[in-house]
Amino acid sequence: MTRVLIPSGALGLGYDPTALERGLAAKPDIIAIDGGSTDSGPSYLGRGVSKYSRASTKAEWRGLIEAREKTGVPLVIGTAGTCGAGSAVDWLVGITEEILSELGLSAKVAVLKSDQPNKRVAEALTSGRISPLYPAPEISADLIAECSNIVALAGAEQIATAIETGADIIIAGRTTDTAIIAALPLMRGDKAGAAWHGAKIGECGALCTTNPQTGVILVDFDAEGFTITPMAEDSHATPHTVSAHMLYENSDPFILFEPGGHLDVTASAYAALDERQVRVTGSEWVPSDRYTVKLEGARRAGYQSVLLTLLRDRHYVENADAWCADIQQKCRAKAMDRLGLSAEDFDLELRIIGRNATLGPLENRANGAVELGVAGIVTAASPERVEEIAKMLNPYLLHHSLTAEEAMPTFAFPFSPAEVERGEIFEFCLNHVMELNDPMEAFDLKVMNLPHA
Amino acid sequence: MPELGSIVEKVRSKNAGPFWLTVDIFCGSMEAFERVSKGVSTERVATLFQTDAAQLKRFDIPSLNVVKFSLPRPQVQGTRFDRDMHGAAWGALVEEMDVN
C-alpha cells in the first residue's frame, strides 16, 4: 500500500492548513504537488517563467517544506514554475534554498530538468523519432529553431529515478500531471492501472470532491485499486465527484496517454466506502511497444502592443463595424507608406468588445450595446516596428470620423499612454511525441545539498 | 423549444491541452440526460463550431448523466487568433442551443 498526500491542485492556488495537518497525521509515504500546466498559455513556456507571485509561491512552498520536515517523507513537485522550463525550475530551487536557510534546515534536493535543446529535437525529427499527435502543426528544423523553450513531459520513470536518489525534496521540470503521484505506487508494485487512475483523479487535489477550495486529499494505492479521502472535514468524495473528474480537461474521459502506455478506465467501478471516501477498482494500464514522451514548444511569434478605446457616442456604437474597417484600411496604408512595409510585414486588428470579442466568427447572438470597446492589436517582427504602428493607430482611435462631413469626434481613452506594450509573444507549436530508447536519455537529474555551503 | 442550458445543471467548456477543446454537459438527471442525448445531434454541435461532425468526439455517459463533446480547438490556444485562453467561453454556444 502506498499513501500519497496531495496538498492542492497546484502550488500557488492555496491549501487548507488544517486539512494539511490532518493529512500529515495520516502518515503519508510521499507529498506530491503539481506546479504548472499549459492552461495559462504559451507565454510562460516561451519566457520560461512562473505565472504565480513569488511571495505566494514561497509562502505555500514553505508550508510544504515544513510539513515534509515533520514527516520525513519525500516532497515532490512536478512542472515547477508553471511551465517546467529550466529557468522556472531554477527559480523554485532558489526559493527552496532561501526557505531552507530561513528555517535553519538543510535538505538533499534532486532537480530533474525536462528541457530539450532545439538541436536534439531537430535531430530526432530527421531520424524519424518524432511523431505527430492530432491535430499537429506542421514542423520543420526551421520551426524548431524558432522555439525559445522546448520541454518533454517526464513520466513515472524519470520521477522514480529522482525518488531513488533518496532525496528529501524533488523539484521537477515539465512532467505529466499524473507522474509525480503515480511514480511511488508503481515503484512499490501497486496495481499500475490504479496508480495512474488515482493519480489522474488526484492531480487537481480536492477538485474531485464536493469542496474543491480545500485542496488537500489523500490517495491510498494498493494491489487492486485506490481510495480517495478528502482531508477537509467539510469535503466529501462521492462516486459521482470522483468519476466525473475524468471529464476534466480530458478530450477522452476513458483513455489517458502517458509515457510508456495508456490508462483505460472503461471498466472501472466507483464505490462509496462511507459518506466521505470512494474506492475505485478495475482500472487497467496498457503498456505500449515504444517509449515516447510528449513535447511542448513555444515558438517566437513577434512583438505586440494593444490599445483600447471606448465608444459611447450612439452614432459610433451603431456604426462601429464601418468605423473599424475604415481605420484598418487607412492605418494599414499609412504604415506601409511611411515605414516602407508590405502587407505581410505586420498585422493590425481592431476587435470590437461588447459584440463578438469572445467568440469571433462563431458568435450567433446580437444585442444593442450602450457602449463598445475597441481593442487595437498590433503585431510585427520587431518591438520598434510595433511601437511605430501603434503610435500611428493612436490618433485614429481617438479622433477618426465616419465621414468627412461630420465634426471631429473624440473617444474615451482609459489610459495614457493608450498603447500597452505586450512585448514578445509566443505560440505553442508542438503537439508531438518523441521516442526514447531510455527514459532518462532526454532528462537531466542532479542531486544537491541545500543550502549550498 | 427550451435552451439546453435551462434544462441541464451546468455546461462546462475547457481546454484539454493547447490543441483540444472539451465541452461537458452535466445534465443533472436521467430525464435531462435522455433529452440531451437524443435531442442534440453531433451535427448540430459541429455546426455551432463551424466544423465537420467527423471532427467531434462524442461521449454519452449515462452513469454520470453527462454528454461530452471534444474537438480540435477553433484556434490553437494562445495564438494571435485565439480569443479565449482557457476555452471556457465556447460552452455558451452549446448552452444556448435549442433542445427538443
Residue A133: list chain B partners with CB under 8 A. 19
A359 with B20: Cβ contact below 8 A: no
Closest A-chain CA to B70: A251
Q: Which of these, B67, B41, B65, B69, lies nearest to B55 by C-alpha position?
A: B69
Under an 8 A CB cutoff, do B86 and A39 touch? yes
Please tell me if residue A248 touches chain B, with a CB cutoff of 8 Å: yes
pLDDT at B1 over 90: no
**Beta-carbon count within 10 A of A177 CB:** 23
Any A CB within 8 A of B62 CB: no
Q: Which grid coordinates are listed for A437?
A: 530508447
A241 contact B CB<8A: no
Cα separation, B47 vs A347, in Å, equals 29
CB contact under 8 A, A136 and B19: yes
pLDDT at A140: 97
Cβ contacts (< 8 Å) between B18 and chain A: which residues?
38, 42, 296, 428, 431
CB of B69 within 8 Å of any CB in chain A?
A: no
B88 contact A CB<8A: no
What is the rounded CA–CA span in Å between residue A389 and residue A394? 9
| DSSP per position, A340-359 | T--GGGEEEEEEEETTSTTT
Closest listed residue to residue A58, CA positions, set A17, A100, A19, A30: A100
Exposure letters A420-432 (e unless 16+ CB within 10 A, then b): eebeebbbbbbbb
Q: What is the DSSP letter of A181?
A: H
Cβ within 8 Å, pair B20-A137: no
Q: Contact A2/A73 with Cβ under 8 angstroms?
A: no
Nearest-Cα distance to chain A for B34, in Å, is: 18
pLDDT digits (tens, 9 = 90+) for A154-209: 999 999 999 999 999 999 999 999 999 999 999 999 999 999 999 999 999 999 99
Do B15 and A38 make contact, defined as CB atoms within 8 angstroms? Answer: yes
Whether residues A427 and B70 touch (CB distance < 8 A) is answered with no
Within an 8 Å CB–CB cutoff, is residue A251 touching chain B?
A: yes
Q: Tell me, yes or no, if A431 comes closer than 8 A to chain B by beta carbon.
A: yes
Tell if the CB–CB gap between A42 and B15 is shorter than 8 Å: no
* C-alpha span between A394 and A399 (Å, rounded): 9
Q: Which three cell numbers stand for residue A334?
A: 499609412
CB–CB of A428 and B80 under 8 A?
no
CA separation for the pair A239, A282 (Å, rounded): 14
- State how far the Cα of A82 lies from the Cα of B14, in Å rounded to an integer: 18
* Grid cell locating A217: 486529499
Neighbours of B43 (CB within 10 A): 10
pLDDT of residue B100: 82
Please identify which residue in the block is written with the cell numbers 472503461.
A266
Among residues A169, A165, A194, A168, the alpha carbon closest in space to that of A181 is found at A194
Answer for the pair A393, A378: CB distance below 8 angstroms, yes or no.
yes
Kindly determine whether residue A358 and residue B63, on different chains, have CB atoms separated by under 8 Å.
Answer: no
Q: What is the DSSP string of B45-80?
A: HHHHTTS-GGG-EEEEETTTTEEEEEEE-SS-TTST
Q: Kindly state the cell numbers that stand for A79.
A: 512542472
Helix or strand or coil: residue A394?
Answer: helix
pLDDT-based confidence at B39, cuts 50/70/90? very high
C-beta atoms of B70 and A249 within 8 A:
no
Contact call for A427 and B89, based on CB within 8 A: no
CB A370 within 8 A of CB A353: no
Cβ-defined contact of B79 to A427 (cutoff 8 Å): yes
Tell me if residue B42 falls in helix, strand or coil.
helix
Residue A453: the pLDDT is: 82
Q: Which residues pair with A76 in a beta bridge?
A: A32, A170
Q: B7 CB near a chain A CB, below 8 Å?
A: no
SS3 A31: strand
Per-residue pLDDT at A214: 86
Instruction: Cell numbers for A426, please give them.
Output: 509566443
State the residue for C-alpha cell 459518506.
Answer: A275
Query: Phi, psi (5° rounding) for residue B84?
Result: -145, 90
Per-residue pLDDT of chain A (453 residues; tens, 9 = 90+): 999 999 999 999 999 999 999 999 999 999 999 999 999 999 999 999 999 999 999 999 999 999 999 999 999 999 999 999 999 999 999 999 999 999 999 999 999 999 999 999 999 999 999 999 999 999 999 999 999 999 999 999 999 999 999 999 999 999 999 999 999 999 999 999 999 999 999 999 999 999 988 899 999 999 999 999 999 999 999 999 999 999 999 999 999 999 999 999 999 999 999 999 999 999 999 999 999 999 999 999 999 999 999 999 999 999 999 999 999 999 999 999 999 999 999 999 999 999 999 999 999 998 889 999 999 999 999 999 999 999 999 999 999 999 989 999 999 999 999 999 999 999 999 999 999 999 999 999 999 999 998
Contact of A40 with A82, CB cutoff 8 Å: yes
Structural domain spans, chain B: 4-95
What one-character DSSP code corresponds to residue A147?
E
State the smallest CA–CA distance between residue B87 and chain A in angstroms: 9
Lookup: cell for A250: 480530458
Question: Quick one: closest CA in B to A247, which residue?
Answer: B24
Tens-digit pLDDT profile for residues A391-438: 999 999 999 999 989 999 999 999 999 999 999 999 999 999 999 999
Instruction: From chain A, pick out residues whose CB is under 8 angstroms from the CB of B59.
Output: 252-254
- Using DSSP's 3-state secondary structure scheme, residue A98 falls into helix
Please calculate the CA angle A92-A188-A2 and round it to the nearest 5 degrees.
70
Q: Which of B4, B44, B64 to mutate to test binding with chain A, by most A CBs within 10 Å of its CB?
A: B64
Whether residue A304 and residue B92 make contact (CB cut-off 8 A), yes or no, is no
